[in-house]
Chains A and B, each alone.
Chain A
Amino acid sequence: MIRTACLGLLAATTLTACGDNVSAFEPWYLDELAPEEGVWVRTPEFEVAAGEEIQDCYFFEIPATAADPLWIDKFELALNPGSHHMNLFRVGNVVGLDPAAGEPIDLGGVRGTVIRGGECWSSPNWASWPLVVNSQQSSADEPVYTWQLPDDVATRFAPGERLMLQVHYVNATTQETPFRGRAGVNLTRSTADTIEMGTLFATQQSIRICRSSPTPVFSGTCSMPEGQHHVAAVNGHFHSRGERFSVYAWDGVSTTRPPDAARFYQSTRWAEPDMVNGLDVPLPEGGGVWWTCEFRWREPDIGCAAVDARDPQMANDCCYTFGPTVETSEHCNVFLYYYPKTQDINCF
């Protein structure tokens, strides 16, 4: 109740501020970490104009002076309200998104480069880049997502390893950025953990949500390498036509959806989907995960013309198809964290 009242007051303040709403926002704060404590990154603040979607890719390196290797057992991920997502990847094979082509930038605890828009929108550029961590939490009352990894488990980085922090902001009809965009990451050093965390990033290709077939359901699987693995955390990602996102433990043999008892994640919140951590879900050996996205078509606030313009089939059926733009396209992505790591996994 107190929280509701505070938000109400905040909204009223914003409305009466005649456009100067930056002053109404109390910024989040993360500690600046000394080198022996870990690595910290802060993007500058940036304007997200009405009607805009912004996606920027910030590149930096794990400091080469860090102990070899650097183990991290706590993530703190902070976002001003309005963010659609923040993803941290390890830079792999460089195709069209070259860190060296970016503009030099001061990122607080590290220096790096930034590529604003352009190739930062093109997903094949990071198709082979392993996921490190992600956050979709950017509410005004909970701008910081803190994740203490399970006991004895940590994420490992090599000194000098290149990372890419991708930040997506929306200030349009489906999501709003009431203040200014900004992201921060703290990677807190672990000294005692010995089990490595692995990641799994999976996405459904060529999805299609059309006026004439308004409730499609898409499912996929992602098989794990040999060995016994435990899921530590998971979150799903789709846009505003997404109604239910479910992830199940899967035996690796069946071709039908696993029973409800095998489901360890379900979210119906597209804009701020739950990141479920604290899990310890053993996956069947030789198996993996099964995920399902249930969609419901809705009339786009900006009209069908912009949606139709993106449709490769040019069906003129107001079909939302695969793509990163929240207003006009859809996703069906799984972000999953498991241990012990065999290798990082992408399924798409």
Chain B
Amino acid sequence: MLLRRVAVAIALVTAASGCSDDAPTTCPIGDRTQPIELVAVHWPAGGVVEDLADGGAVDLVRPIQGGKVVYVGVRARNVDGCNVQLTAALRDPATQQVIALEQRPVRLVDGGDGWGRAESTFDHLANVPACPNAAAARDVDGATWGLELRLDEAGGRTATVTLVVTPRCGLVGEDEECRCECDSDYELGAACPVDPVDAGVDA
């Protein structure tokens, strides 16, 4: 135990003094003595990353592996942009059940206005796997869901932003397949793009 404490202490001193090649690079954005501030963002299909308003729509997009994801993230300040973990979750507001969650390291780069923004799109935004979704009691598309975005700094500082979003299908070439896979009655393996006969609401 004593040896362990000594080792930890040495590691802390080394990291603080920046003498080790293993010391993580820090990228302060804003004033890190202040609380982390977040603004939700999303990546609309065919567009550029933009702020996401409470109640706004987010595009459901077919990613490289298949299925349908929403690309969401944050811009932030008063944060270490090189050592943060993003967690994004879609939650059913009625039951509080999380129907999809993804957590990944992201890198934020100062955009020149004091806010850190995702360094790139696919990799530094959450790819939240929304459809197909065996847990969703209603269609994922066209319905409102809670979106929680949390940013955790390596040192333990954290911030969360919560809003309501409406995932939407509609991309050219993917629309019918998307509605099919996002239907609450969809069963994996069934032929799409036929929209399943719906026992619930089909937006």
Interface of A with B (CB < 8 Å)? 90, 92-93, 123-124, 126-130, 203-208, 212-213, 216-221, 223-226, 252-257, 286, 288, 290, 312-313, 315, 321-322, 342-348
Are A128 and B192 touching (Cβ within 8 A)? yes
**A129 CA / B189 CA spacing, docked (Å):** 5
Chain B residues with Cβ under 8 A from A255's Cβ?
Answer: 87, 89, 98, 101, 148, 150
- Residues of chain B with a CB closer than 8 A to A225's CB: 134-135
In the bound complex, residues from chain A placing their C-beta under 8 Å from that of B100 are: 221, 223, 347
Contact between B148 and A343, CB atoms less than 8 A apart: no
B residues less than 8 Å from A256 (CB atoms) = 87
Task: Give the size range of B's interface with the partner.
Answer: 35 or more
B132 at interface by CB-CB < 8 Å: yes
State the main secondary structure of chain A at its contact with B.
loop
- Pick the residue among B69, B98, B122, B190 that contacts A253 (CB under 8 A): B98
0/1 per residue, B132-143, Cβ < 8 Å to A?
111101000000
Of B62, B135, B148, B189, the residue contacting A90 (CB under 8 A) is: B189
- In the assembled complex, the Cα of A224 lies from the Cα of B136 at a distance in Å of 9
Per the bound structure, the CA–CA distance linking A207 and B127 in Å amounts to 10
Contact between A205 and B98, CB atoms less than 8 A apart: no
Decide: A312 near B122, CB < 8 A? Known: A92-B188, A221-B98, A344-B189. yes
Which interface residue of A208, A253, A346 has the most chain B CB atoms within 10 A?
A: A346
Chain B interface residues toward A at CB < 8 A: 25, 62-67, 69, 82, 85, 87, 89, 95-105, 107, 120, 122-123, 127, 129, 132-135, 137, 148, 150, 181, 187-192
With known contacts A123-B65, A216-B104, A347–B189 Cβ distance under 8 A: no
Given contacts A224-B135, A255-B150, whether A347 and B129 have CB atoms under 8 Å apart is: yes
B120 touches A313 (CB 8 A): yes
Distance of A255 Cα from B160 Cα, bound (Å):
11
B103 to chain A, nearest CB (A): 4
List 15 extra interface pairs beyond A206-B63, A223-B133, A348-B65, CB under 8 A: A124-B65, A124-B66, A206-B123, A206-B127, A220-B103, A223-B98, A223-B135, A224-B134, A252-B97, A286-B97, A290-B101, A315-B120, A322-B64, A346-B132, A346-B188
| Contact residues in A for B122 (Cβ distance below 8 Å) | 206, 312-313
What distance in Å separates the Cβ of A239 from its nearest Cβ neighbour in chain B? 15
**Cα separation A306 to B192 with both chains bound (whole Å):** 36
Distance to closest chain A CB from B175 (angstroms):
16
CA distance A124 to B67 in the complex (A): 8
Would you list the 4 A-B pairs with minimal beta carbon distance, nearest first?
A127-B66, A223-B135, A92-B189, A124-B66
B127 contacts A205, C-beta separation under 8 Å: yes
CA distance A288 to B98 in the complex (A): 10
> Looking at the complex, which one of B87, B148, B191 makes contact with A93 (CB distance below 8 Å)?
B191
Contact A348 B66 (CB under 8 A): yes
A223, B134: Cβ atoms under 8 Å?
yes
Known: A123-B65, A205-B63, A348-B65. A286 touches B95 (CB 8 A): yes
Most central of B95, B123, B191 by chain A CB within 10 Å = B123
